[in-house]
Structure formats: structure tokens, C-alpha cells
Amino acid sequence: PVVGPLSGRHVIVTAGPTHEPIDPVRYIANRSSGKQGYAIAAAAAAAGARVTLVSGPVDLAPPVGVTVIEIETARDMLAAVEIALPADVAIFAAAVADWRPVHEAASKIKKDGSGAAPPLAMTENPDILATIAHRSAGRPGLVVGFAAETDDLIANASVKLNKKGCDVIVANDVSAEGGVMGGAENEVALVTSEGIERWPRMPKGEVGRRLVAWIGARLANG
């Protein structure tokens, strides 16, 4: 095994989108590529951690030395994270669909010739990060959330830190002009109750390594 700052630690990472089925051939999803979460999982393994990566459908190779659990829906992602507990650190980098269709049609929905579209009733998905961060028993020692925002990045991240109950929010600007969503680079700020740390724009692999180093230092300081 790799020896490093996270040796002996179990790290859970969520990554990618979720797919919420409408019928056997259709689903609701989002533009997450999974690159940032995969980079974090790879960096944590390289730092010596045992890593469980709970991943939505993505087009990426499994990182070396990482156990990948493949799921499709938000509910399956929550169940997989709960099964993977206990953990020292949990990092929620997935872009979970906020809503899912209330019903999954058992067979493909057909056009009925009237020109009318089928109604698509939606219901809210569980918030995986908030559910895990608010656990009284078995809460990971360090819970990391992400905030992908297009406006008022820091203000929204601070609100999210409190509402979700996590220890740090990695805030990133995903407005279209930045090209972060699906791109190779990311520009983030770490928001904790102690303050804000802005990092320069860098490759997602580098964000992963720096975040893992930050986590290692934080665990070492208790």
C-alpha cells in the first residue's frame, strides 16, 4: 500500500451526475463530467488513503487503487455512501439531480398523436451531503461539500456551509464563460467557519492534490 499523509484513513468521494429515469430509455441528468471528483479520489489514494468512489455515469477510467461503486440515481448514491461508512473523510463532489420524476414508466412513453406532451411530475431527491453531515452517529470526522454557483459565489457558499452542516465548502464558479463544467481546469475558494481561502485557476488534478494536502493538514491538527 501507498504510504502518505492519509495512510490508515478511509475517504469516501462522490462524483459525476446522477441519472433519474423517466422511462426505460429516457432520464434527467446534468453536465457534470466527474473529472474533479475522480481527480480528488486519485489524489487521496496517492496520499495513502483507502478510497471508496461512489460514481454516477461518467466517461472516465477508474483511478488507480480506488474502489469504484457505480450508481445511477441519487437514492442509490445515498445508499452506497451509507453502506461505505464509516469514513474519516467524506467529499461530496457529485452533481446530484435535485429532482427526479415521481414515477418511472415501466415501458417507453409514446406520442399519442394529439400533439400534447406527457406531464412530468417531479419530486425532490434526498440531499446526500446534508444527510451524512447531520448524522449523529457515524458522521465522518471531516465532511467536504461543493458549491457550484453562477452568482454570488462566496455568499451562497457560506449559506450552504451552515445549511448542509459540512466543515468546508469548495466553491466553484460554473458560469458559462469560465468553462469549468466539463473543462480541465477549476478555480475554487475554500469556505470554512474560519474564513475564505481563494485558490488560483489550475488543472483539476492540481485542485485534487491541493485539497487532499489541505485535508491531511487539517486531520493532523485534530
CB of 69 to ligand C5P, least distance (A): 15
Number of amino acids touching ligand C5P (CB under 6 A): 13
129 marked among binding-site residues: yes
Is 30 annotated as catalytic?
yes
Residue with cell 460514481: 55
35 marked among binding-site residues: no
Cell of 167: 466543515
Q: Interior CA angle at 96 toward 10 and 181, to 5°?
A: 95
Residue type, 94: A
1 marked among binding-site residues: no
Half-sphere exposure of 94 (CA within 13 A, CB side): 33
20 lies in the binding site for ligand C5P (CB under 6 A): no
204 marked among binding-site residues: no
CB of 5 to ligand C5P, least distance (A): 23
Q: Which is nearer to ligand C5P, 94 or 153 (CB)?
A: 94
94 lies in the binding site for ligand C5P (CB under 6 A): yes
96 lies in the binding site for ligand C5P (CB under 6 A): yes
27 lies in the binding site for ligand C5P (CB under 6 A): no
Any bridge partners for residue 10, and if so which? 50
DSSP output for 52-117: EEEE-S-S-PPPTTEEEEE--SHHHHHHHHHHH---SEEEE--B--SEEES---SS-----SSSPP
| Distance between CA atoms of residues 203 and 221, nearest Å | 27
168 lies in the binding site for ligand C5P (CB under 6 A): no
| Distance between CA atoms of residues 30 and 13, nearest Å | 19
173 lies in the binding site for ligand C5P (CB under 6 A): no
Q: Which of 46, 92, 153, 167 binds ligand C5P (CB under 6 A)?
A: 92
125 lies in the binding site for ligand C5P (CB under 6 A): yes
43 lies in the binding site for ligand C5P (CB under 6 A): no
Count other Cβ atoms within 10 Å, centred on residue 122: 13
Residues of each annotated binding site for CTP: 98, 108, 126-129, 146, 160, 164
Q: Residue numbers of the site for ligand C5P (CB under 6 A)? A: 14, 74, 92, 94, 96, 125, 127-129, 145-147, 160
Q: Which residues are catalytic?
A: 30
